[in-house]
Chains A and B, each alone.
Chain A
Amino acid sequence: MNLTAAKDPAKPESTIEMIDTQNNRENMSGIELPEDPIVVIRPRNGWIPIDLGELWKYRDLILILTARDIKVRYKQTLLGAAWAVIQPLFTMLIFTIFFGRLAGVPSDGIPYPIFAFAGLLPWTFFSNAVTNSGNSLVGNSNLISKVYFPRMIIPISSVASGLVDFAIAFLLQLLLMVWYGVKFGPSLILLPVLVALTSLLAVGIGMWMSALNVKYRDIRYVLPFAIQLGLFASPIIYPSSMVPEKWRWVMSVNPLAGQIEGYRSAFFGLPIDWTSLGVSALVTLAILVYASVTFKRMERSFADLI
């Protein structure tokens, strides 16, 4: 959608300030038209920058859509929000039995159950967030074809609604740590940064997938499969230290790997691998930028394709 401020026709990329009209609204009964158009609609080619200002103005919609997703998710379920705990908890139990006990996978000297749970915590959040936001545009096609708002809001609020489940599971992690007698160290302050990174990565991949999903419905089948692979390609069941030194770099290409190790270091006060965390942050940023550019480019045809 091309929304440019006509204030400077030479600069068609500058996006409009929609709510600016609020200043004019008071005297609207007297109709004083602004000198320049508030919105200019015209076809646009090439890449379109993200309008963070407009996203900010629509923040209420992000919050309300997030709240909708959370409220609706556990309506008419017997166990409600308990599912946020059950999912990672049972996965952890199964992993503990099969990988911890039977296969004897090492866990850097940490009891295997909390070792696995510390990895499953970000993984569950990430995989649910990507699945939900990847399907979010198609799932909200009624909105896309009937109302205007920045389309990015939909995958973003899908990811945001996963944060509540994450918070519940996070409390469980803290309880498990108390149970296993793990001391809470100062490295815990790293967690907000990690959560932000994981959220941004999920927004990036989710937004990208959601846009592709509008055009190629294959994504619906690709996503669960890719996520299953991701579980094994990330150090969730096993520690990174188990990967031979010369293959370690392959691991660091996976931005989630560095983050998951980061969560473990933060929870258990282990030495932090700043290099892999730094690489992960850079890759996350690159994905986010690439995804938003792709999204903006494809956004124009959403209403026609969906």
Chain B
Amino acid sequence: MPTLSDMSRPIIRVEDLGKEFVIGGPAEPYSTIRESIVRTVRKPFDMIRGNGSEKRKFWALKDVNFEVFPGEVLGIIGRNGAGKSTLLKVLSRITEPTKGRVELYGRVGSLLEVGTGFHPELTGRENIYLNGAILGMRRDEITKKFDAIVDFAEIEEFLDTPVKRYSSGMYTRLAFAVAANLEPEILIVDEVLAVGDAAFQKKCLGKMEEVASAGRTVLFVSHNMGAVSKLCSEVMLLQNGKVRGRGEPSEIVGQYLREGSSSEFISDAGPVRFASLRQIGQRLILKLRYQMEKEIDLPCLGFVVSDAAGNPLFGTNPKIDKVPRLSTPRSEGEMEIEISDPGLVDGTYYASLWFGDGETDHFVEKDCLTVEVLDMVPNQHGRPHLNGFVYPKCEWNLNV
């Protein structure tokens, strides 16, 4: 167990950390040599004309200060673009900060994606070594853990099959198994639990609990408020690159859900331009306007409505509902979904959206819509945390 003296010292210390990105300006990616030359030549003229400041800079992270103590499991939450991924990338040394300082007192293993570097042509066995080495394990270290990895992934029979023949479940299991057997003092995990089926997610959560109880430190970024509340000892909320709050999971998750969402989603780019969710009488109405680059015959909108703690309540999509495809494909349009009688008790609910052509999701936005439900059901028990959020429709017959 951690000694008192060591518990008082942080294993991660982040001071005044900032990361600035330049958009539209000279640091734009995919620039060509010709552009560079043109810019260099034009620069003096631009400065005379006052066009020099045309590049747009923004701080993805700013004035971030925090400490993490050994054995802590710190959840990091925030909306898309709040700086969560940038923070993890800086801590994993993938990208360099623009200012500030981070001190790490332990070896870092970062898991920003499941199966980084997996090669589809290589067999399961070969990929275990490849992935392990990429994550920073030595060859003999992998050999030592090989059986444990294969065990966890449950893929013994397919060890010598190229992973391109694996089902997506097997692929994910194998990838997580390698990463889970990495034994760094600090484990950085980004949203990996979003993949895989429920049983697998449970297994991953279990493994992460095990890691944490072994005294290792975990940083965990997720949109899954349920997992964050369950797993983390503390939660930190990021907003526009700054630390907005830190504390007890329930408190911070609540704060995020109260402030983080809006009842309408509006965007002037991307496939989904507008989305809204509102209660009309006993019904919930979900509206969506989309604009795709190509024509599609199935504007496939999936939604999941969850409670304020992030537990999913219900959800579906046109494929599950066997909605017939459009007779003439189109690239833009509006759609409306009427959820006729969800029977929700009073409270705040959140909807996550997925939108695509039925093959791939071109748009994923967790908890982007919120709705305040009031008087949807005739009676209120007032105890949703005990009795549930859905009010059942019952036929009572007290005398049969």
Contact = CB atoms under 8 A, between A and B. Distances in A.
Contacts of B2: 30-31
Interface of A: 1-3, 6, 18-19, 21, 24-25, 28-34, 37-44, 60-61, 63-65, 68, 71-72, 75-76, 142-149, 215-218, 300-301, 303-306
Contacts of A71: 121-122, 126
A148 B94 contact: yes
Nearest to B22: A304
A220 to B, nearest CB: 11
B189 to A, nearest CB: 12
Contacts of A142: 113, 116-117
Given A21-B185, A29-B214, A60-B138, A34 B105 contact: yes
Interface in B119-165: 119, 121-122, 126, 129-130, 133-136, 138-139
Interface of B: 1-3, 6-7, 9, 11, 13, 21, 27, 29-34, 36, 70-71, 89-108, 110, 112-113, 116-117, 119, 121-122, 126, 129-130, 133-136, 138-139, 183, 185, 214-216
A217 B35 CA distance: 11
A143 B116 CA distance: 6
Contacts of B36: 216
Contacts of A2: 96
B52 to A, nearest CB: 21
A61 B97 contact: no
A1 B33 contact: no
A290 B292 CA distance: 47
A3 B102 CA distance: 10
Contact of A72 (B71, B119, B129, B139): B119
A43 B98 contact: yes
A32 B98 CA distance: 31
Contacts of A217: 30, 32
A146 B112 contact: yes
A75 B164 CA distance: 13
Contacts of A25: 107, 183, 185
Contact of B9 (A6, A24, A33): A33
A37 B185 CA distance: 13
Interface centre among B1, B9, B31, B117 (most CB of A within 10 A): B117
A33 B30 CA distance: 43
A37 B103 contact: yes
A267 B236 CA distance: 67
Nearest to B116: A146
B29 A149 contact: no
A3 B93 contact: yes
B101 A42 contact: yes
B3 A30 contact: yes
B32 A218 contact: yes
B31 A148 contact: no
Nearest to A303: B95
Nearest to A34: B105
A146 B113 CA distance: 7
B104 A147 contact: no
**CB-CB nearest 10 A-B residue pairs:** A37-B103, A41-B102, A148-B93, A21-B107, A39-B104, A303-B95, A31-B70, A64-B133, A61-B133, A60-B139
Contact of A33 (B70, B117, B214): B70
Contact of A1 (B96, B183, B185): B96
A169 B128 CA distance: 31
Given A2-B96, A143-B116, A33 B11 contact: yes
